[in-house]
């Protein structure tokens, strides 16, 4: 097979697997801080129990994020040497700042956060939690800045075929960066709130009515219910920003083949790129014009303006629909759960049963969204500057295929193990309820094995 | 050579990268070494050994990210050439690091009956990562030659680097533990030292004979005189440490950190020798640091951040080590 396709699949596989874990740690750090601050304010040990249950998930997710992230830093060189040769002057400093300002901070204080509860004062332990949570967010800031720059490059000039920085402010805060950053941080918040709500619902179904379960469940459900409308609004703004700067991506997302007014909103279709038309289309008349231009005769860009220079339509179209569909489902589930928790102080069983698989809905929406925006950037690696095909390295296809196969097996194995541990931790917490020993009280370290665990 | 920024910046970054690699090799060296020594340890001992590195390993591995990151951002051309040439060993290294890193956490969180499986994975991951690093070093020393001879030499260096890491791991265990385990670690250290010395001798001899250019850098007067302390001092440190292994552990746990510091010094000397051999090349005999470097303005903006942030990183790293100072059995709370 073609090394280009294989390298793309490999990069896609690696970064898809990687993004699952930062998506959790970015927001989970802040949720842990919330638990810790509530404990500091109320002295209620149930908050600390919630902290200790979820700090384990954090530690595991962090480790998964680190090791898969190391893989990414090598992949630039092993598979895509053309990327750094062309835009290394821009990408380099952004990546360097991510390492310097975020990675070390997180890694150094994670130890104190996990194992230091009794070794440092409560104040320092809280500070360590702040620094770790801050580190994950700073890391997201830099990497989103770089990714957005690849989508909507700004603040540079080309000299001898190589990009040179002219204005760092314009590079970091490029046109799509603020939208993408907000969208991603909210996605992380939603992923974590549904994960917490879902695993707490599992504890609920197992008959656990402990205070720490209620606290985690309420935190998850209410955070989700608050964040999802904000996310829908932010996503819409992000879409309008894409319309302005990357119209060909919008055309593919809407599977709109011809530029013009009164464009329908396609709900279902099988886009056929060979025939340049949609099959089995179900659409709302004038819908896309209304959503994107806020008027029924608004002109929506079509793929006919970008022949040979637009992304593959099928994956972008469907990635977008899976993301939006998942988002709407999240709205329905989180609002019903919030209603029952506030008014009835209980969860109906069917809703709790639905919330358990919805624990992973954030992952699904995040991946679908990233596929939409990243495949939507093709055929460019850096829009208008570097084509993906021109960045691939001279490695033999057989090497890439072999390593890709092993990565996929490894990732499948790790994913199963990871999900297994999450369920195991939830069931164990359900069994222990409020009687689980608090670390520091019963001589059990947070992330260390203890008898019977 | 004029001392303007376009000349100086690549030089500074080569120095920073070298520093990051050296710190990585020393710090993650003992993590990986402890993983390798897992094969020779009992269940309870394994828990203590993990406790000795649990709070640190993450930050230690970050030095590798910094080193590769600096190679990537400061010498993008070299990053591409080296990593595509070492495609398979890099992949093996990454698989090893992935397995090692996740095993840390999984072994502590899975149901008890599965802990053994993750202990084995921790050992395997550490071993694979160490071997891959050694193999890459060997192949790099020979100028990225991947012929049959290069592979054989790579395999030799792989074994010796794994042994060197095991020695580091043993030295760290001597520092962080007490009692039976500490005594056992002294024996581990003695065994591993032999292979470490052999490996350093092999690399030291192979490098000049693989490249006439490097030969000329070492074996001409007067450089030979200036450079002679490097091998002589390394040899003396090896001998001294070897003798020490017959006296450790001492009463009141005196000198328990000495083996680790001695090994770190030996690593630093060996590294200085390598640096001298390869300077000014970042890809042996192909690309100099100036040919491979990024644009000066990009390097300048990274340097500005580095100058501010690196001391802070070093400061809080020391703080973290201090928080978890003392014997590792203390890691369980109170």
- Residue B250 DSSP code: P
Does A409 reach chain B within 8 Å, measured CB to CB? no
Q: Mean of the pLDDT values across residues B109-117?
A: 82
Which DSSP string do the residues of B104-149 spell out, in sequence order? HHHHHHS-GGGHHHHHHHHHHHHHHHHHHHHHHHHHHHTTS--SHH
Say if the Cβ atoms of B84 and A395 lie within 8 Å.
yes
According to DSSP, the β-strands at B281-283 and A386-387 are unpaired
Does A85 reach chain B within 8 Å, measured CB to CB? yes
How many residues in chain A? 453
Output the six-digit token pair for B79.
Answer: 């990053």
pLDDT value of position A445: 40
Q: Please give the model's pTM, rounded to 2 decimal places.
A: 0.88
Longest dimension (CA), chain A: 69
Spell out where A104-161 has E strands: 156-159
For residue A158, the SS3 value is strand
Output the six-digit token pair for A98.
Answer: 């991510």
What residues of chain B lie within 8 A of the CB of A96, using their CB?
69-70, 73, 302, 305-306
What residues of chain A lie within 8 A of the CB of B81, using their CB?
81
- Residue A200 DSSP code: H
Determine the distance in angstroms separating the CA of A442 from the nearest CA of chain B, rounded to an integer: 8
Burial B266-285 (b: 16+ CB within 10 A, else e): bbebbbebbeebbeebbbbe
Helix segments in B147-178, DSSP class H: 148-176
Element (H, E) at B282: strand B281-283
Q: Does residue B254 surpass a pLDDT of 80?
A: no
How many residue pairs from chains A and B have C-beta atoms closer than 8 A? 242
Element (H, E) at A280: strand A277-284
pLDDT value of position B256: 81
pLDDT value of position A451: 30
Output the six-digit token pair for B157.
Answer: 């260096």
For residue B289, the SS3 value is helix
Does B101 reach chain A within 8 Å, measured CB to CB? yes
Distances B128 to A442, B97, B261 between C-alpha atoms, Å: 37, 8, 25
Output the six-digit token pair for A31.
Answer: 């949720």
Output the six-digit token pair for A252.
Answer: 């593919």
- Indicate the pLDDT class of residue B83, thresholds 50, 70 and 90: confident
> Per-residue pLDDT for chain A (453 aa), expressed as one digit of tens each?
788 888 888 899 999 999 999 999 999 999 999 998 998 888 888 888 888 889 889 989 998 998 888 888 788 778 888 888 888 888 888 988 888 888 888 888 888 888 877 788 888 888 999 999 999 999 999 999 999 999 999 988 898 888 888 889 999 999 999 999 999 999 999 999 999 999 999 999 988 888 888 999 999 999 999 999 999 999 989 988 888 888 888 888 888 888 888 888 888 888 888 888 888 888 888 888 888 888 888 888 888 888 888 888 899 999 999 999 999 999 999 999 999 988 888 888 899 999 999 999 999 999 999 999 999 998 899 988 888 888 888 788 888 888 889 999 999 999 999 999 999 888 888 887 767 655 544 333 443 333 333
Q: What is the rounded distance in angstroms from the CA atom of residue A123 to the CA atom of residue A63?
A: 25
* Residue A307, phi-psi category: left (phi > 0), alpha (psi -120 to 50), beta (remainder): beta
Q: What is the rounded distance in angstroms from the CA atom of residue A101 to the CA atom of residue B250?
A: 42
pLDDT value of position A448: 38
Q: Which residues contact B26 (CB under 8 A, 6 or more apart)?
A: B168, B264, B267, B268
Does B31 reach chain A within 8 Å, measured CB to CB? no
Output the six-digit token pair for B63.
Answer: 């030095």
Contact A399, B87 (CB under 8 A): yes
pLDDT value of position A366: 95
Q: What is the rounded distance in angstroms from the CA atom of residue B169 to the CA atom of residue B36?
A: 8
What residues of chain A lie within 8 A of the CB of B323, using their CB?
111-112, 116, 119-120
Q: How many CB atoms lie within 10 A of CB B217?
A: 18
pLDDT value of position A437: 59
| Model ipTM over 0.85 | no
pLDDT value of position A330: 94
Residue B302's closest chain A neighbor by CA? A93
Which DSSP string do the residues of A436-452 spell out, in sequence order? SPPTTTSS--SSS--TT
Nearest one of A79, A27, A56 to A392, comparing CA atoms? A79
Distances A196 to A110, A209, A244, A414, B269 between C-alpha atoms, Å: 21, 15, 36, 20, 51
Which DSSP string do the residues of A219-262 spell out, in sequence order? HHHHHHHHHHHHHHHHHHHHHHHHHHH-HHHHHHHTT--S-BSS
Say if the Cβ atoms of B331 and A445 lie within 8 Å.
yes
Spell out where A88-232 has E strands: 156-159, 162-165
Determine the distance in angstroms separating the CA of B130 from the nearest CA of chain A, rounded to an integer: 15
> pLDDT over 70 for what percent of chain B?
98
Contact A254, A300 (CB under 8 A): yes
* Torsion over CA: A8, A10, A16, A21 (sign): negative
Using DSSP, how many helices (H) and how many strands (E) does chain A show? 14, 6
Q: Using CB atoms, which residue from B65, B95, B102 is nearest to A73?
A: B65
What residues of chain A lie within 8 A of the CB of B331, using their CB?
115, 445, 448
**Which range among A313-317, B18-22, B195-199 shows the weakest confidence by mean pLDDT?**
B195-199
CA dihedral B103, B105, B109, B115 (to 10 degrees): 30
pLDDT value of position A450: 34
């Amino acid at each position: 097979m073609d090394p280009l396709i294989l390298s793309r699949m490999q990069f896609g596989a690696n970064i898809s697997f990687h993004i699952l874990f930062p998506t959790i740690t970015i927001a989970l750090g802040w949720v842990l801080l919330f638990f810790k601050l509530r404990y500091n304010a109320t002295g209620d040990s149930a908050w600390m129990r919630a902290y200790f249950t979820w700090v384990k998930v954090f530690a595991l997710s962090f480790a998964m994020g680190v090791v898969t992230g190391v893989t990414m830093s090598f992949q630039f060189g092993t598979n895509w040497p053309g990327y750094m040769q062309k835009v290394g002057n821009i990408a380099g400093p952004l990546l360097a700042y991510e390492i310097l300002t975020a990675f070390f901070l997180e890694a150094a204080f994670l130890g104190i956060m996990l194992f230091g509860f009794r070794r440092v004062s409560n104040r320092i332990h809280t500070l360590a939690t702040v620094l770790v949570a801050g580190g994950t967010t700073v890391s997201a800031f830099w990497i989103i800045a770089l990714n957005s720059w690849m989508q909507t490059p700004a603040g540079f000039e080309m000299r001898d075929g190589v990009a040179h920085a002219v204005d760092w402010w314009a590079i970091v805060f490029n046109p799509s960066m603020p939208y993408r950053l907000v969208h991603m941080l909210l996605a992380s918040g939603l992923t974590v709130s549904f994960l917490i709500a879902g695993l707490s619902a599992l504890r609920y179904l197992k008959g656990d009515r402990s205070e720490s379960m209620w606290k985690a469940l309420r935190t998850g459900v209410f955070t989700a219910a608050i964040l999802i409308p904000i996310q829908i609004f932010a996503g819409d703004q992000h879409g309008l920003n894409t319309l302005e700067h990357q119209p060909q991506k919008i055309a593919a997302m809407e599977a709109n083949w011809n530029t013009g007014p009164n464009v329908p909103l396609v709900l279902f279709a099988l886009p056929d790129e060979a025939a340049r038309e949609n099959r089995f289309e179900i659409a709302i008349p004038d819908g896309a014009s209304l959503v994107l231009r806020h008027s029924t005769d608004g002109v929506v860009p079509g793929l006919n303006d970008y022949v040979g220079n637009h992304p593959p339509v099928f994956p972008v179209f469907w990635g977008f629909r899976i993301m939006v569909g998942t988002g709407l489902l999240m709205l329905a589930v989180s609002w019903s759960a919030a209603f029952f928790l506030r008014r009835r102080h209980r969860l109906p069983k069917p809703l709790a049963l639905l919330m358990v698989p919805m624990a992973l809905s954030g992952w699904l929406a995040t991946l679908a969204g990233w596929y939409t925006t990243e495949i939507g950037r093709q055929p460019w690696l850096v829009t208008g500057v570097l084509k993906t095909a021109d960045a691939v390295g001279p490695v033999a296809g057989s090497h890439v295929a072999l390593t890709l196969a092993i990565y996929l097996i490894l990732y499948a194995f790790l994913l199963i193990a990871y999900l297994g541990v999450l369920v195991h931790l939830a069931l164990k917490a359900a069994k222990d309820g409020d009687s689980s020993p608090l670390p520091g009280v019963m001589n059990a370290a947070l992330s260390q094995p203890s008898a019977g665990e | 050579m004029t001392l303007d920024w376009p000349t100086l910046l690549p030089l500074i970054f080569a120095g920073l990268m070298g520093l990051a690699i050296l710190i990585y090799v020393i710090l993650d060296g003992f993590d990986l070494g402890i993983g390798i020594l897992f094969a020779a340890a009992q269940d309870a001992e394994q828990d203590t050994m993990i406790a000795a590195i649990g709070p640190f390993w993450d930050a230690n591995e970050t030095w590798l990210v910094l080193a590769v990151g600096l190679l990537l951002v400061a010498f993008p051309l070299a990053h591409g050439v080296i990593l595509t040439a070492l495609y398979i060993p890099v992949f093996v290294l990454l698989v090893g690091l992935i397995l090692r890193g996740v095993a840390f956490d999984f072994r502590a969180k899975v149901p008890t009956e599965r802990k053994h499986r993750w202990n084995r994975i921790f050992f395997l991951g550490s071993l694979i990562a160490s071997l891959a690093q050694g193999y890459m070093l060997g192949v790099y020393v020979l100028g990225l030659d991947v012929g049959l001879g290069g592979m054989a030499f790579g395999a030799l260096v792989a074994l010796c680097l794994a042994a060197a890491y095991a020695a580091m791991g043993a030295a760290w265990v001597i520092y962080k533990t007490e009692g039976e385990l500490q005594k056992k670690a002294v024996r581990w250290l003695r065994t591993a030292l032999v292979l470490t010395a052999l490996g350093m001798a092999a690399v030291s001899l192979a490098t000049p004979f693989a490249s006439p250019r490097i030969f000329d850098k070492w074996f001409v007067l007067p450089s030979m005189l200036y450079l002679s302390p490097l091998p002589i001092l390394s040899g003396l440190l090896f001998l001294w440490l070897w003798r020490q292994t017959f006296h450790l552990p001492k009463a009141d746990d005196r000198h328990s950190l000495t083996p680790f510091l001695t090994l770190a010094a030996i690593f630093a000397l060996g590294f200085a020798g390598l640096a001298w051999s390869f300077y000014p090349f970042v890809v042996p005999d192909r690309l100099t640091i100036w040919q491979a470097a990024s644009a000066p303005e990009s390097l300048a903006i990274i340097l500005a951040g580095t100058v501010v942030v690196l001391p802070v990183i070093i400061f809080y790293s020391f703080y973290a080590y201090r928080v978890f100072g003392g014997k590792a059995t203390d890691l369980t709370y109170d």
